[in-house]
Structure 1
């Protein structure tokens, strides 16, 4: 049986079940497709980058679990972690809000440029986290990725 490499989300279970009333219906209505949320887009980008790196480094990353969380736990200091690497448990946690909100984006008038910049920034954090786990420079993980 093939193993799914989907990224696991932490801490989002039941966030739409307010006051015990059950899940809300789609804002788009029953005849339109579901809206893609920022959470879904972020998880898809992380899953794609993780799958790409697993294909390049199968022996090193076959048992690594990638997770997405909103914010790091603990006190907020002057600096937020963007990711956490637990080498003993072979686990990488990427924190969505610090990555999305604190990343510097270049000004652009083209929407496709903004989407590409966002994707490149998120993938860059995945590469850095994997580099921390493996003890390698992130640029050495996939030297031809952005060329």
Structure 2
């Protein structure tokens, strides 16, 4: 089978090309694909999901919002103790692969005291936390509990002393 074109210089293109670069009158100047997606000049009428609706946020953005809500609540309860504390979200712990072969639990968060390398920090791991819950309400409660536990470790206090609502809404 001959795969060479029968005439030299013969090509097929779906985009309009004109020898002098100027199309004759009445010939569309847009390529086939551009005309096809925007028939009659209407195009996309708007966004499929408005930014204010809950479905427009990704799981990661929703999780970040839960962390911010919990951090704000605890910052109001402990303004002096958490004044310079950073609240961070990471996808998974650093040493997750090494933990998989052992019988240790996967950490849900960690805290670090202030030092020469930076301010105090509370980190929560999104994937391990999300894997333990079934509903958005459970996720909200678990995120808040993990942050309370990490702040309690940072402030060297019991979780119940950090937030009186600790584990009040779960069946524990």
> TM-score, structure 1 length as denominator?
0.67
Runs of 4+ residues over 6 Å off in structure 1: none
Residue 82 (structure 1) aligned with residue 108 (structure 2): yes
> How many angstroms does 1:36 deviate by?
1.4
Judging changes above 3 Å, is the alpha-carbon distance between structure 1 residues 144 and 93 closer, same or farther for their aligned structure 2 residues? closer
Q: 1:116 to 1:39 in 2, by over 3 A?
A: same
* CA RMSD, 1 decimal: 1.9
Unaligned 5+ segments in structure 1 are 1-28, 106-113
Structure 2 runs not aligned, ≥5 long: 1-45
The aligned counterpart of 1:65 is 86
Which has the higher relative contact order, 1 or 2, with Cα contacts under 8 A spaced 6 or more apart? 1
- Please tell me whether residue 30 in structure 1 is matched to residue 56 in structure 2: no
How far 1:115 moved relative to its partner? Answer: 2.3
Bigger Rg, which one: 2
Aligned residues: 110
1:135 aligns to 2:161 (yes or no): no
Classify the secondary structure of the residue corresponding to 1:80: coil
Task: Label 1:144 to 1:70 Cα distance change in 2 as closer, same or farther (>3 A).
Answer: closer
When normalised by structure 2's length, the TM-score is 0.58
